[in-house]
Chain A
Amino acid sequence: DAKTTQPNSMESNEEEPVHLPCNHSTISGTDYIHWYRQLPSQGPEYVIHGLTSNVNNRMASLAIAEDRKSSTLILHRATLRDAAVYYCILTGYSSASKIIFGSGTRLSIRP
């Protein structure tokens, strides 16, 4: 299974942008990059996913490096509700149907 590496924790100020990095140097050409987050006492929640091009949705943006060995989740204007553990996950033929969670990044937001 292709692995991802994320910082253990990050802190940001409310109403400022947040850039959460993820390294996935062993990604295969058919792997998608997904981001999920888990708020306290809740199940994981889908945030965004992409293959090669940058992606935007109502929650966030996903910037994918040209060589696809890294990606960055961008929260444009953090709120206190965005405090969560963020997981970067790869899915593809090499992982069959496994959705494997790494240790993730615990994001704290300062008011």
Chain B
Amino acid sequence: DTEVTQTPKHLVMGMTNKKSLKCEQHMGHRAMYWYKQKAKKPPELMFVYSYEKLSINESVPSRFSPECPNSSLLNLHLHALQPEDSALYLCASSQVEGATGITRGTEAFFGQGTRLTVV
């Protein structure tokens, strides 16, 4: 199974709502990522988890809260979002080097994304 599964595929939420995006992989990868992609732009890295610990936060606003409950699951909790947060949210996973916990020279697998609309 070489898939990264993201749910839901589409989500519409109000600015006062709380919702969560879910990402799952069963490839034994120990690095997982969240990206945000606006139309006609490249994906922007938001968070990286390595061995279920948050290793990189690219100065993302606190209304986005990641969680990695186990090595197969990655969640992104959303609260009090703004309309400009509407975008495609992508999850990815990859192997890491055992000693360093770094992703290097290995293939990353991406999900198909969750299309989020904030109204």
Contacts and interface: CB of A to CB of B under 8 A. Distances in A.
A44 B90 contact: yes
Looking at A43, A98, A99, the one whose CB has the most chain B CB atoms below 10 A away is A43
Interface string B42-78: 1111001010000110000000000000000000000
Interface in B71-119: 90, 92, 94, 96, 100-113
B33 A99 contact: yes
B112 A96 contact: no
Given A45-B110, A96-B56, A99-B108, 11 more contacts: A43-B4, A43-B92, A43-B111, A44-B43, A44-B110, A46-B107, A49-B106, A91-B106, A99-B94, A99-B103, A104-B42
A21 interface: no
B102 A93 contact: yes
Contacts of B35: 101
Interface of B: 4, 31, 33, 35, 42-45, 48, 50, 55-56, 90, 92, 94, 96, 100-113
Given A97-B55, A100-B45, A101-B42, A91 B105 contact: yes
B42 A97 contact: no
Nearest to A44: B110
Given A43-B113, A97-B96, A49 B45 contact: no
A97 B94 CA distance: 10
B105 A97 contact: no
Interface of A: 30, 32, 36, 42-46, 49, 51, 85, 87, 91-93, 96-104
13 contacts: A30-B104, A44-B92, A87-B42, A96-B102, A97-B50, A97-B101, A97-B103, A99-B92, A101-B35, A101-B43, A101-B44, A102-B42, A103-B42
A32, A91, A97, most chain B CB atoms within 10 A: A97
B89 to A, nearest CB: 10
A69 B2 CA distance: 32
